[in-house]
């Protein structure tokens, strides 16, 4: 594995024709996308953002402010942006991070070829009065169970919950305090991935991403809840790969 500050390259492919940079969900780490390089193939290199305070950065202070996080990610992404075509992909909180980073890169003449948003509502639908980060641990666990029954493991393993809940809470604090500013339309197309039973992203909100690009916006629905991106991984990866290939043909 090659590590480069925030970015993790579990399967380095510097000669690959394209780069995909992925941004995990709240409470998640780079391992959420660890299998992607093997599923996408040799012509795609995958870089995954590792936010501080988890996995191999567990001992580092967590970032709880969107602007701080974006400033650091921008500094690391810019050197990669000019080398070859690249796409940004973010799931849930990572979708907001990816969109904000896409706007910042575009303003510097180094925008992505495509933005892939997974399980995240657009800025026009961003909740402004959510205070989940102020909840008790039991309430936070209930919220995670609302998103997916697969999170039941946290409720059954107190030691695991004690390690992960502070990370989840910090990320919720970041995204709940985030306030989208002006959002100039991107020049690149947007691909939206959504779970059919995801309580966080309605079909209306998924299609509303079309207002954030001058180009094409396509929405793809998959069986599953908020974490369909894991339960439907093979289908999701195939859809993302097809979207990247279509962009290169145009």
CA-based radius of gyration for the chain: 17
Crossing angle of helices 66-81/93-107, nearest 10°? 60
First-to-last C-alpha distance (Å) of the chain: 33
48 DSSP 8-state letter: E
| C-alpha span between 218 and 207 (Å, rounded) | 8
92 belongs to the catalytic site: yes
> What 3-state DSSP class applies to 87?
strand
Query: Which listed residue (17, 92, 124, 130) is catalytic?
Result: 92
For residue 95, give the H/E element and its range: helix 93-107
Nearest to 24 by CA among 9, 34, 37, 14: 34
| C-alpha span between 95 and 23 (Å, rounded) | 7
Active site residues: 92
């Amino acid at each position: 594995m090659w590590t480069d500050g925030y970015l993790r390259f579990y399967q380095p492919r510097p000669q690959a024709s394209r780069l995909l940079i992925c941004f995990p969900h709240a409470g998640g780490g780079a391992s959420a996308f660890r299998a992607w390089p093997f599923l996408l193939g040799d012509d795609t290199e995958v870089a995954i953002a590792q936010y501080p305070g988890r996995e191999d950065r567990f001992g580092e202070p967590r970032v709880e402010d969107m602007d701080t996080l974006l400033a650091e990610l921008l500094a690391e992404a810019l050197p990669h942006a000019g080398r070859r075509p690249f796409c940004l992909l973010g799931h849930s909180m990572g979708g907001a991070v990816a969109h904000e980073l896409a706007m910042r890169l575009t303003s510097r003449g180094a925008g992505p070829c495509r933005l892939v948003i997974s399980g995240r509502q657009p800025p026009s639908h961003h909740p402004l009065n959510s205070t989940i980060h102020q909840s008790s641990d039991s309430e936070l666990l209930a919220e995670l169970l609302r998103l997916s029954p697969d999170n039941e493991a946290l409720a059954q393993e107190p030691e695991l919950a004690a390690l992960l809940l502070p990370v989840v809470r910090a990320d919720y604090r970041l995204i709940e305090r985030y306030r989208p500013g002006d959002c100039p339309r991107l020049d690149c197309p947007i691909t939206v991935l959504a779970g059919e039973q995801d309580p966080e992203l309605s079909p209306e909100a998924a299609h509303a991403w079309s207002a954030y690009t001058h180009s094409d916006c396509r929405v793809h629905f998959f069986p599953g809840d908020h974490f369909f991106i894991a339960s439907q991984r093979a289908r999701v990866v195939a859809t993302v790969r097809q979207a990247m290939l279509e962009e290169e043909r145009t």
